């Protein structure tokens, strides 16, 4: 039996890293902040994962969130909006994407237990994992267009590879998926009732070399209703037909013509988003379908988020949704019609060679 050890990222123990009986345990430990990732947590998690990947004593890695509300609700966005183009923004996004890339290419079993909210940065350290375990409490979303960003952390890679046009729908609208939806969409590989998570963790500790069999067994005896199918199933024909269109304008036109309760809700969500983010995100996900690997998608997305950091919508979105909470952002440009192709092009232009993210 391996000796128990703990490494804390900060004095406040924002992340807890443990080795026990052949398992590397990562606990995101900011429950009051919904376990949002900050730069210090990323800087502790990345080197530890790299070490575990090469340590023959570690057979598998498990990442989870503390508390009952969230796995990880995203990156610590409030820390990134103090000033345009600051060094902290470059460091945060580049180091976050390097961590996401390591997770996506990890050479050992990596299990993410998605109990509670899973958004933004939490998606990056989970959805690319070999195993993703949803519970009845899981709430998954990519809400970035609502704060003037794009669906990043590898969204360009995994979203276009979901069924039909589901990924484009999720990336543009920020629609929330519950646990059973995540399983049917392929966001999760397994579903386990939250009350069975302690037993699952004990089983992993007892036999870390037999992860798939353990997860399969717990999945099959899960007691929450994954057999009901996805809540989006009745709407998939509409989603595939409309969100496959080549422009955001055409998507909106068809949604207006649909005149259904579902299309009305979708239009309302899109109407809250940054017009620039919608158009940049649409191109991002369209191109991502043809990019061969996660690393290349993350390199593209780094350019996009640097573009977001250099434009006002990101700061206005954070102000309206997270600071003043008036939910009335004043986007610039204010309408889709005002977002020119040249404006969209500017996000995709290569950065100076010494500023590119190279994975």
Q: How far is CA 275 from CA 211, 308, 315, in A?
A: 44, 12, 14
Q: Measured on CA atoms in the order 47, 216, 56, 197, is the torsion positive or negative?
A: positive
Catalytic member of 121, 146, 281, 307: 121
Q: How far is CA 342 from CA 96, 105, 158, 308, 329, in A?
A: 28, 35, 27, 15, 23
Q: Which residues contact 105 (CB under 8 A, 6 or more apart)?
A: 294, 295
Crossing angle of helices 261-272 and 248-258, rounded to 10°: 140
The DSSP bridge pattern shows strands 139-141 and 177-178 to be antiparallel
Q: Is 100 a catalytic residue?
A: no
Catalytic member of 96, 100, 152, 316: 152
The DSSP bridge pattern shows strands 70-72 and 117-119 to be parallel
CB 298, CB 169: distance < 8 Å? no
Catalytic member of 65, 74, 75, 167: 75
What is d(CA 280, CA 342) in angstroms, rounded to the nearest whole number?
11
Residue with tokens 């995203």: 74
Q: Is 121 a catalytic residue?
A: yes
Catalytic member of 144, 299, 313, 316: 144
Q: Is 144 a catalytic residue?
A: yes
Q: Is 233 a catalytic residue?
A: no
CB 185, CB 162: distance < 8 Å? yes
* Helix, strand, coil abundance in the chain, percent, nearest 5: 50, 15, 35
Active site members? 75, 121, 144, 152
């Amino acid at each position: 039996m391996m000796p128990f050890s703990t490494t804390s990222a900060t004095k406040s123990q924002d992340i807890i890293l443990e080795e026990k009986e052949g398992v590397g345990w990562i606990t995101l430990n900011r429950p009051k902040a919904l376990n949002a990732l900050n730069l210090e947590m990323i800087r502790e998690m990345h080197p530890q994962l790299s070490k575990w990947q090469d340590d023959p004593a570690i057979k598998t890695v498990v990442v989870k969130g503390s508390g009952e509300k969230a796995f990880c609700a995203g990156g610590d966005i409030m820390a990134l909006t103090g000033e345009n183009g600051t060094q902290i923004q470059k460091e945060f996004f580049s180091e976050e994407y390097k961590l996401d890339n390591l997770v996506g290419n990890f050479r050992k079993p990596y299990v993410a237990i998605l109990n509670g909210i899973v958004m933004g940065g939490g998606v990056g350290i989970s959805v690319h994992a070999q195993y993703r375990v949803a519970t009845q409490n899981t709430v998954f979303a990519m809400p970035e267009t609502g704060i003037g960003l794009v669906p990043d952390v590898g969204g360009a890679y995994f979203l276009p590879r979901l069924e039909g046009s589901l990924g484009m729908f999720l990336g543009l609208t920020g629609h929330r998926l519950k646990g059973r939806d995540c399983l049917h969409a392929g966001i999760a590989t397994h579903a386990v009732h939250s009350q069975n998570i302690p037993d699952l963790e004990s089983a992993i500790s007892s036999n870390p070399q037999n992860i798939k069999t353990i997860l399969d067994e717990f999945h099959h005896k899960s007691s929450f209703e994954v057999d009901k199918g996805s809540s989006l199933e009745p709407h998939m024909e509409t989603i595939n037909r409309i969100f496959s269109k080549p422009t955001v304008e055409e998507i909106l036109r068809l949604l207006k013509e649909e005149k259904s309760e579902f299309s009305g809700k979708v239009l309302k969500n899109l109407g809250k988003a940054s017009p620039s983010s919608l158009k940049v995100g649409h191109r991002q996900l369209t191109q991502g379908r043809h990019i061969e690997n996660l690393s290349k998608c993350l390199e593209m997305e780094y350019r996009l988020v640097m573009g977001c950091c250099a434009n006002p919508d990101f700061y206005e979105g954070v102000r309206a949704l997270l600071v003043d909470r008036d939910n009335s952002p004043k986007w610039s440009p204010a309408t889709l019609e005002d977002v020119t192709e040249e404006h969209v092009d500017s996000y995709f232009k290569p950065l100076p060679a010494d500023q590119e993210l190279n994975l």
